[in-house]
Amino acid sequence: MHSRCVCFSFYIRRRCITKNAYCKRQIKKSVFTYNNITMKTISLLVVKLIVWFLLLGSVLSNDYKTFKKLVLPPSVTGPESAAFDRAGEGPYVTVADGRILKWKGPAIGFVDFAYISPNRTKKLCDGTNDLELGPTCGRPVALSFNYKTSDLYITDAFFGLLVVGFNGGLATQLSGGYKYLSGIDVESYTGNVYMTDASLTADSTGKLLKYDPRTQRVTVLMSGLAGAGGPAVSSDRKYVLVPDFVNKKIQRYWLQGPKRGTNEVFMTNFGSPKNIKRAVNDGEFWVAVEKQAQGLRINGSAMVLQTVPLTQFSDTTVGVVQEMNDALYVGSSQTDFVGVYTN
């Protein structure tokens, strides 16, 4: 019979008083078990910590919590759009005084890039947001580059659809006589230009239009839309997402495939969509949701992948959320800056 191995200080360190053979085996076993358990616990903890940090990291690197402003020149307002050129330079913004400005970095700020109206003078127009001067100064609202040709297509509240080359200057009018061209997206592969002609009230006279640069003809693809906003062609060029602002919906118009030429409701129950822009990830989009001041990242299944609160715009309106590199550029018709959200 073995004498019992009596241990003291069980919790701190297993150490036995008697040192017979059985006891030694027990000590060895218990120490081994103890070490083993400790090692297992520690490595589990380490794994858990690593996983936790990775998760935290992926959340943190994607939450757009840092905010800064790209401030417009004195008394200039209304940067409703923010586009980048083929070289990644910009943003280029449309402003209320009839110009397209280009951001040249913090040391220089915004500089003149293009203007809409041949009758515009800097003396009369720079810094104005007087709508009465619109027919003289112009009021560009949306822009989109053709990345093949580097041409910049612009929609203007008074002058319709225009285009300007990569050196900027006076834009050329391509098509006029619209109620209010509120949004634009150039599909660079074919060069086709998709635009929305807004209804200014809830009267559902809004349209999705296509401008074909080869025939220089404009065709109506969809009608019955309510309110203003801007469309976005999917990265696979199969469909266009079209905001139906007042009805709080996004419509999908098919450009290819069996449903070509038809449209359907794509997404509801998320707020009022203003401009929609392609995200950096293929097949994804950013939707500017005006009232809630949010940016929604969605995919082609209408799945909301991310919701970013745009807190600095909660007392104004959100016009556009444009993703570039690791940042979101947010434009508004009511601010004197473009907001930049980074991680």
Ligand X SMILES: *[C@@H]1O[C@H](CO)[C@@H](O)[C@H](O)[C@H]1NC(C)=O
Cα–Cα dist 329/286, whole Å: 11
Helix, strand, coil content of the chain in percent (nearest 5): 15, 40, 45
Residue 224 makes contact with ligand X by CB under 6 A: no
In whole angstroms, the minimum distance from the beta carbon of 138 to ligand X comes to: 9
312 binds ligand X (CB under 6 A): no
Q: Between 130 and 159, how does the x/- string for binding to ligand X read (CB under 6 A)? A: -----x------------------------
Complex with ligand X: residue 115 or 180, whichever CB lies closer: 115
Which residues 6+ apart lie within 8 Å of 33 measured at CB? none
Shortest CB 158 distance to ligand X, Å: 8
317 binds ligand X (CB under 6 A): no
DSSP 83: B
Residue with tokens 């930049």, as numbered in its chain: 340
Check residue 301 for interaction with ligand X (CB under 6 A).
Answer: yes
> From CA 208, how far away is CA 185, in angstroms rounded?
11
Binds ligand X (CB under 6 A): choice among 57, 118, 165, 176: 118
Q: Does 299 bind ligand X (CB under 6 A)?
A: yes
Q: Candidates 6-14, 123-131, 258-266, 298-306: pick the segment binding ligand X (CB under 6 A).
A: 298-306
Q: Give the DSSP H or E segment for 141.
A: strand 140-145
Shortest distance in whole angstroms from residue 338 CB to ligand X: 28
Pick the closer one to ligand X by CB: 57 or 118.
Answer: 118
Contacts of 297 (CB under 8 A, 6+ apart): 279, 284, 285, 286, 304, 305, 306, 307, 308
Binding residues for ligand X, rule: CB under 6 A, are 117-119, 135, 283, 299-301, 303
